[in-house]
Chain A
Amino acid sequence: MSTFKKYALVAITIIIAIASIYGYREFNRKPADVSSLKTQVVITADSIIAAYERDEVKANEKFLGKTIVVNGVVSEMNNEHDTLLNVIIGNNGLRNVSCLLNNTQLENYKKCSVGKPVFIKGICTGFLADVELNRCVIVADTIK
């Protein structure tokens, strides 16, 4: 076998190995931890609720799927078996911002309380009865 062929064989083997590792890792990749994602929008609970009440389609263009930090006052907290943690922020009567927390947030959840201000970072999934945020983390600055 010529030297060229040997090098070519080694190079192809390395490329296949790298591609396989990349493919395997990509296939098994978990959804990103929101705290490591770049914040795209910072907004108050009242403003995002008003935007969705005014025009849901336009609000979706701005917020849907984006990494958002929302701040407001906690109006309700729900903990189901320490696995489903939800914090509702805003004092807008029927409409609020409902934040489903990442299950790593139990300690931070316990530091929140109704009536206190909070900054919550999550992915905006749209508007039902409330503006919905998923995979949320409580921004540490708010609970010092």
Chain B
Amino acid sequence: MVFFLQVCTSAQTKLFTKTGTISFFSKTNIENISARNNKVLAVWEPLSGKIEFSVLMKGFEFEKALMQEHFNEDYVESDKYPKATLKAVIENSNSILLTTDKTHSVKVNGTLTMHGVTKPISTIATIKVKDGIASATAVLPVLLADYNIKIPAVVADNINKKIDISINIPAFKSL
């Protein structure tokens, strides 16, 4: 019995995915800009509530080449800062049972590191458990100025100063 419990605990220690999605959308009167990255790495320890996301900045795909080039070269400087990471803790994470189908609304606090700047973040995420598989969604509002991302005056009206970053994890797997 003890052995069985140990196996259960260790199997539950970490959940992960390599195919999460992060997308963002900037809406202004002049143009809408959206981008998506389908290779988000996420690791979650349900017992402690620790959750970590990593994403490669060059992995964001835009509809137009010029947007992608400006994003990489001028705004996030992806050669210098190739990754963004989000390290957070999910409150009451240990109350989320993978054995019970339920949708949980949880508070998430942590830090987002992007463009060489680390800032605290806080949001409400939705974690849905169905048939033993957890999926998650969250939206992070981010002010570009907080991350030292400078938009040249000539295009300043084309880009919203606040960007909503949407995180979507379709399915966590056991590690």
| Interface stretch of the complex, out of B5-13, B51-59, B108-116, B136-144 | B51-59
Q: Which residues of A contact B19 (CB under 8 A)?
A: 78, 84, 86
Closest chain B residue to A32, Cβ basis: B65
Residue of A28, A125, A134 ringed by the most chain B CB atoms within 10 A: A125
Report yes or no: A98 in contact with B18, Cβ–Cβ below 8 A: yes
Question: Could you tell me if B58 and A125 are in contact, using CB atoms closer than 8 angstroms?
Answer: yes
Residue A110 is within 8 A (CB to CB) of chain B in the complex: no
Within 8 Å by CB of A26, from B39, B62, B66, lies: B66
CB interface residues, A 57-110, toward B, < 8 Å: 60, 64-65, 78, 84, 86, 98, 100
B61/A31 in contact, CB under 8 A: yes
**Which residues of chain A from 116 to 144 have any CB-CB distance to chain B below 8 Å in the complex?**
123-130, 132, 134-135
- Cβ of B65: which chain A residues have Cβ within 8 Å of it? 29-32
B122 within 8 A of A: no
Decide yes or no: A128 and B58 within 8 Å by CB, A26-B66, A30-B65, A64-B79 being known contacts.
Answer: no
1/0 per position for B64-103, CB-CB distance to A under 8 A? 1110100010000011001100000000000000000000
In the complex the two chains form, what is the Cα distance from A129 to B39 in whole Å? 10
Q: Smallest CB-CB separation from B62: which chain A residue?
A: A31
Task: List, in ascending order, chain A residues with CB within 8 A of B57's CB.
Answer: 125
Instruction: Bin chain A's interface residue count.
Output: 20 to 34
Q: Once the chains bind, are A129 and B61 in contact (CB under 8 Å)?
A: no
Q: Give chain A nearest CB distance to B36 CB in angstroms.
A: 10
B56 touches A125 (CB 8 A): yes
Instruction: With A29-B66, A31-B65, A64-B79 as known contacts, state yes or no: A126 contacts B18, CB within 8 Å.
Output: no
**What is the CB-to-nearest-CB distance from A56 to chain B, in angstroms, rounded to a whole number?**
9
User: Is B41 located at the chain interface by the 8 A CB criterion?
Assistant: yes
CA distance A64 to B81 in the complex (A): 11
A27 interface residue per 8 A CB criterion: yes
Residues of B within 8 A of A30 (CB): 63-65
Known contacts A27-B66, A100-B38: does B61 contact A128 (CB below 8 Å)?
no
Q: Residue among A26, A28, A126, A127 with the most chain B CB within 10 A?
A: A126
Whether B38 and A84, one on each chain, are in contact in the complex, defined by CB atoms closer than 8 angstroms, is yes
Partner of A31, one of B18, B41, B56, B68: B68
Chain B residues with CB under 8 Å of A134's CB are: 39, 58-59, 61
Sample (20) of A-B pairs whose CB atoms are under 8 Å apart = A26-B66, A29-B65, A30-B63, A32-B65, A60-B79, A64-B58, A65-B58, A98-B39, A100-B59, A123-B58, A124-B58, A125-B59, A126-B56, A126-B58, A126-B82, A126-B83, A128-B55, A129-B18, A132-B59, A134-B39
